[in-house]
Structure 1
Amino acid sequence: MLHKWKPFSFLAKPHICCPLSSLTFFKPSVSVARLLEEEPPLSHSPKDPVFEILSGLKKLGFRRFLSGDYFGSVVFSLDQLQVDKIIIFLRVESPDFAVVFFDLMRNEYRFRHSRFSRFVVAHVLAGQRRLDELRFVLEQMLKEEGSGSAPSLCEHLLNGFRDWDKNSLVWDMLAFVYSRFEMVHDALYVLAKMKDLKLHASILTYNSLLYNLRHTGIMWDVYNEIKASGTTQSKQTNSIVIDGLCRQSKLQDAVSFLRETEATRLGPSIVSLNTIMSRYCKLGFTDVAKSFFCMMLKYGLLPDAYSYNILIHGLCIAGSIEEALEFTSDMKKHGVEPDIVTYNILTKGFRLLGQMDGAWIVIQRMLDKGLNPDVVTYTILICGHCQNGNVKEGLKLREEMLSRGLQLSVLSYSFLLSSLCKIGQVHEALVLFYEMEEQGLEPDHVTYSILIHGLCKQGEVQSALLLYKEMCSKSIPPSSLSSGAILLSLCENGMISEARMYFNSLIMNEWAHDIVLYNIMIDGYVRQGNLGEALELYKIITEKGITPTTVTFNSLIYGFCKNRNLAEARRLLETIRLHGLVPTAVTYTTLMNAYCEDGNMRCMLELLREMHAKGIRPTRVTYTVIIKGLCKQQKLQEAIRLLEDMRYMGLNPDQVTYNTIIQCFCKARNIKMAFKLLNEIWLNGLEPTPVTYNILIYGLCVHDQEICDVLFNACQQCGDLTSVYEMLAWTIKSGLLPQK
């Protein structure tokens, strides 16, 4: 139970430790006498447990009495007030026994001590410089008190223990423990109270607080307080400040601070230089990092393996693998042996370059040094082989890891799953996924997303949905990738109703804040010809304050074009700009195609000029649309010239482009030019499609009744259009077709 306890500002300083046998209970010391004045006097009746315990301790000795029957019978009935009285008596007469009794009650009987007892014992431990035990007592107290308890505890210390010996050390340790527990505001409160009391915090406490605040601007306030208080700084102080400035992306300030420390007695530390080197390497400035490496040598600081690893890693990330290897050799020359981290960095460097042969050479060197690959090594190798499309080698490494009793990481499994899904082996990926769970690894949203996307690509939407439900049941929020894959697959398979139901479930669970999901659903409705539902979703987007993208408007423009509502489609082009977005080539091409279909070549060409004016590069599809428009106007030679323009701009025409223009020449009965364009298809490394052959067959039939009869007979005999296409291709290539 908790009892209110009156302040003990009147308690005397602890006496010198003396044997328990010297306790005189009927002539108490001054501090004890005052304690008794505040509380009802101790009864000399055997019924008073405090009196009996203290008497028993005197007569029988400490350990003998505490292991006896009487203490065992009353210990569980003791309350905090009674235990406080026992501890305060013991603290005066025998401080060591006060600590032992405190520990016994806490550890053996799970007794929850009052704040008073904890602070009494804390002062005893501070007086004996038993700092680890002092910290432990305060840690146990703060675990129970929690965040925001500093004002109350400081008030207790201030009123009850102000004049106690080693009081400043208890205050300092309290601030330190608050800081270690990352209760920063509490630690700052304690320091502020210490300043009012003219108590000095140790550099250990200041450093701990600096470390917790190193990512904030308050770090400088604490550092200035250290300087103002006259507390002697340590090299660790400067290292923390430099680390903090680097974390706050104030690299120049960190360098300036380092320069300031050069002139001090401390000088720059290897930790500070490593921190600055690491930051420059992360920013890609490895040459600058190397200059700080030279500074180490200038100050007589010997670079350690960590220093070398920072530079080697920076060089590998920059792609300078040869220089990284040179630094590894330099490392050996200076008596610093490369460790497993060094070899892993080099392996990763070769992996980033896609040079897995080089990675294996590094592994061999590592093995020659007697170092065995660890989980990181295997993860790098598995990821490298999977990225190179060699999932088979990745699976071999997995087998090797399992045989060595090493557990694969979630990252390794994710790469293997992704590689298997890419080559269509989704069911093999699922087997690996369940193996991962059997190994005690928890799949994350990335793992699930890979499998869900893989299943959707295979058209196994129902299996993907089951996996999705499993993920949600584990309270793993779905990612845009997994939700988008399912939604897209449902829409592509024409299951628009099911897609909407799934989409609604995402909204209900507040997982559909991503515009990508809305875009998929809007596009799905548009492709199904349901522009009304698409516009309803667009309305929901605006009401929820979700920012639409150009993709959103592109789908709506396509919908209006499909409905032949070109005026509304054109208005949306202006709406894109009002939202601060930039129309894309897809936007313009969609509108141009609609104008082309409508026979409005003037508006189509206007949009083309607008594209050029705004610096939007036409795509292959854009040119195909323009060619189609020119062909409709019988401007076949201009269409041919546009093919040349496409090649000039690095946009090689594809089969669709060629089919468009070949069809126009066939309709114009210019079979010779149609054949010439077909020949260009082969010359450009393309294969004609069935559509190409159908266009040519139609043209040939119109061109010559004799050829029409030959092809008709061929179709009847073969019964297979593919064979007819092959025969036609051979005839055209051989030049055997009649020329008229």
Structure 2
Amino acid sequence: MLCATSRLKLAVVPRWKNPKLLCISSFLSSPCSYRSFDRGRLDFSLRVSISHFLNTKYISPNPVKVQWMCPLFSTPSICTIKSRSLVTQASILEEEMAYQVLGEIVSQLQKSPSSIKELCTNHINTLCRKRKLRAAARLLQLLRDKHAINSLPAYNLLLAVACEENDTKIVSRIFKDMLVNHLSMNSTTYFNVAKAISKSNDLTLVLIFVKEISELICTGSVTVINRIIYAFADCGHVHNAILVFDHMKSLKCKPDLVTYNMMLGILGRSGQVDEMLNMFASMKKVNIAPDIVSYNTLLNSMRKVGRFDLCVMLTEEMGKVGLQPDLRTYTALIECFLRSGNVEGSLRLFQDMKRGHICPSIYIYRSLISNLKRLGKSELALKFLEEMKECEGDLVSPKDFKRKSR
């Protein structure tokens, strides 16, 4: 004999104002269309036809009526039945709202088929303004399943609003759905996800989220976790970035060179110099050889805090491991020598850079000129100013420098 709870049945009876559309209303009022029938698998043409009728002026659905039908011998509590009915009713309404908007999109596309991405984003924006986040998420899923469109702006908009509403469940759901279906994501996507997870102030939630993500995807999980770490730091939650990095060691996706370089940069920007040096030492212990990015990150951070002695030691170490200095290396070293008052050393490095066919940047010239003036070398500063003006068109600009460093 079936238990009482397993025999609990849901009957959903929409009521329609127009009796002429009895065939459509009969289909929609069928219990199987809500209980045992997978609405996502309905034939697309049928769904379009239904959506078309729903959007005509002749039909206007009333709120869905939900009834719980229980056997006489079962005695579930009134609170349990009421809570279940409210949740189920909300889910059904959100499902119907998603399909209704889908019908509107299809109807409008028949008039202007070229505006599908903008049209989708506008409807998602409308649902987000009404705070119908689950309906918006379902609509995006329907559009994706029908291979209609995968609108990254629409996904990012929904994630941003869900973050404002502190709805971590829907943020996690959307992000996982994007990963599983290999949808394109950018830095805004990861930023919104990291910000939403961080707003919960729940470290356990952070760890569970990262673990689920690592188990969800077989390949490329390290890259995804790396981007999550960077996003945590980018939204101002460095402690979560460090937490995820430490947690990676117990997951299948272990930290790689990119992870360590990223953590060096995060610790350096947050002023955690000692932790940064410990991180640099730890990557050697796990047999991950530092590259030019690792050393440049350390050099820039040590330069900012005035540790010129460490900059010299790191430069010597670079030579021992066979790494050739690049523009960022020379920029940090020249700045170090100038700040310490070693003009000859900085000029020697500047000439070495030119002999190595490394094009100077405007930043190096500006640094040379300003520091030489500060040290009372006005004539030498004027010489470099004239030189900079002569070859200004061939120099690496600050924008190019930032783009190359990414």
Q: TM-score, normalised by structure 1?
A: 0.31
Partners of 1:434 and 1:413 in 2: CA distance:
23
Cα distance 1:493–1:390, how it changes in 2: closer, same or farther (>3 A)? closer
AA paired with 2:121?
M
2:368 to 579, 591, 616: 591
Mapped to 2, the partners of 1:354 and 1:598 lie a distance apart of: 61
Amino acid in structure 1 at the alignment position of 2:251? K
Alpha-carbon distance in structure 2 between the residues aligned to 1:432 and 1:463: 7
Q: 2:143 is matched by which residue type in structure 1?
A: P
Equivalent residue for 2:216, pick from 441, 444, 457 = 441
Structure 2 stretches of 5 or more lacking a match? 1-108, 127-137, 399-406
> Which shifted more, 549-558 or 502-511?
502-511
| Structure 1 residues 388 and 578: alpha-carbon distance in aligned structure 2, compared to 1, 3 A threshold | farther
Q: 2:249 aligns with which of 472, 493, 516?
A: 472
Q: Percent identity at matched positions?
A: 17
Q: 2:228 matched to 1:451?
A: yes
Q: Does 1:556 align with 2:333?
A: yes
Partner of 2:260: 483
3-state SS of 2:216 partner: coil
Change (3 A) 1:402 1:522: closer
1:565 and 1:389, CA in 2 relative to 1: closer, same or farther beyond 3 A? farther
Code of the residue aligned with 2:191 in structure 1: it is S
Are 1:356 and 2:121 matched, yes or no? yes
Q: Do residues 373 (structure 1) and 143 (structure 2) align?
A: yes
Aligned to 2:160: 391
Local SS of the residue matching 1:511: coil
Matches within 5 A, 1:681-720: none
Is the CA contact 1:424–1:454 (under 8 Å) kept in the aligned structure 2?
Answer: no
Q: Secondary structure at the match of 1:456?
A: helix
Is the Cα–Cα contact under 8 Å of residues 233 and 241 in structure 2 kept in the other structure?
A: yes
Question: Aligned to 1:535, what secondary structure does the other structure show?
Answer: helix
- The residue that corresponds to 1:420 in the other structure is 192
Shift of 1:543: 2.1
| Cα pair 2:171 2:196 within 8 Å, conserved | no
Match of 1:88 in 2: none
Q: 1:347 to 1:460 in 2, by over 3 A?
A: farther
Residue in structure 2 matched with residue 269 of structure 1 by the alignment: none
Cα drift, residue 500 of structure 1: 1.0
Contact 1:418–1:451 (8 Å) recurs in 2: yes
Partner residue, 2:379: 602
Q: 1:419 to 1:349 in 2, by over 3 A?
A: farther
d(CA) in 1 for partners of 2:170, 2:158: 18
| Structural mapping, 1:133-532, within 5 Å | 356-357=121-122, 372-374=142-144, 380-381=150-151, 383-387=152-156, 391-392=160-161, 399=170, 407-410=177-180, 418-420=190-192, 426-428=198-200, 431=205, 434-435=208-209, 437-438=211-212, 440-442=215-217, 444-457=221-234, 460-478=237-255, 482-532=259-309
Contact 1:503 1:512 in 2 (8 A): no
Residue identity in the other structure for 1:588? Y
Query: Aligned partners of 1:386 and 1:612: how far apart in 2?
Result: 47
In the TM superposition, residue 421 of structure 1 has moved relative to its aligned partner by 5.8
Query: Quick one: distance in 2 between partners of 1:392 and 1:421?
Result: 11
Asked whether the 8 Å contact 1:471–1:478 carries over to 2, the reply is yes
The residue that corresponds to 1:59 in the other structure is none
- How far apart, CA to CA, are the structure 1 residues paired with 2:283 and 2:227? 19
Contact 1:595/1:601 (<8 A) preserved: yes
How far is 1:609 from its partner? 1.8
Maintained 8 Å contact 1:492/1:524: yes
Say whether the 8 Å CA contact 2:361–2:396 is kept in structure 1. no
Counterpart secondary structure, 1:473: coil
CA deviation string 1:295-327 (max 9, x = no partner) = xxxxxxxxxxxxxxxxxxxxxxxxxxxxxxxxx
Q: Which amino acid counterpart does residue 208 of structure 2 have in structure 1?
A: Y
- Contact preservation (8 Å) 1:526, 1:555: yes
Which structure has more relative contact order (CA 8 Å, sep 6+)? It is: 2
Over 3 Å counting, the alpha-carbon distance change for 1:372 and 1:423 in structure 2 is closer
CA distance in 2 between counterparts of 1:389 and 1:552 reads 42
Report SS of the residue matched to 2:143.
coil
Distance across 2 between alignment mates of 1:378 and 1:428? 34
For residues 596 and 422 of structure 1, do their structure 2 counterparts lie closer, same or farther at Cα, with a shift above 3 Å needed? farther
Q: What do you get for the CA RMSD once the two structures are aligned?
A: 4.7
Instruction: Give the 3 Å change call, closer, same or farther, for CA 391–360 of structure 1 in structure 2.
Output: closer
Distance 1:502 1:402, change over 3 A: closer
Cα gap change, 1:401 to 1:521, in 2 (>3 Å)? closer
Q: Which residue of 1 aligns with 2:322?
A: 545
Aligned residue type for 2:216: L
How many Å separate the matches in 1 of 2:113 and 2:260?
35
Deviation at 1:548, TM superposition (A): 2.3
Residues 618-659 of structure 1, C-alpha deviation per residue, up to 9 Å, x if partnerless? 979xxxxxxxxxxxxxxxxxxxxxxxxxxxxxxxxxxxxxxx
Q: C-alpha offsets along residues 256-289 of structure 1, whole Å, 9 cap, x if unaligned?
A: xxxxxxxxxxxxxxxxxxxxxxxxxxxxxxxxxx
| 2:206 and 2:240 in contact (8 A); partners too | no
CA offset at residue 533 of structure 1?
1.4
Q: CA deviation at 1:610?
A: 1.5
Structure 1 residues 432 and 532 mapped into 2: Cα distance closer, same or farther (>3 Å)?
A: closer
2:98 matched to which residue of 1?
Answer: none
Highest CA radius of gyration, 1 or 2? 1
Q: 1:349 to 1:423 in 2, by over 3 A?
A: farther
Distance 1:599 1:508 in 2: 46
Q: Is the partner of 1:507 in helix, strand or coil?
A: helix
CA distance in 2 between partners of 1:348 and 1:441 (Å): 35
Measured in 2, the distance between the counterparts of 1:493 and 1:347 equals 49
Counterpart residue identity of residue 441, structure 1: L
Is the Cα–Cα contact under 8 Å of residues 554 and 587 in structure 1 kept in the other structure? Answer: yes
State the distance in 2 between where 1:401 and 1:512 align: 35
Work out whether residues 560 and 568 of structure 1, in 8 Å CA contact, stay in contact via their aligned partners in 2: yes
Number of residues of Structure 1 aligned to a counterpart in Structure 2:
266
1:567 and 2:341 matched: no
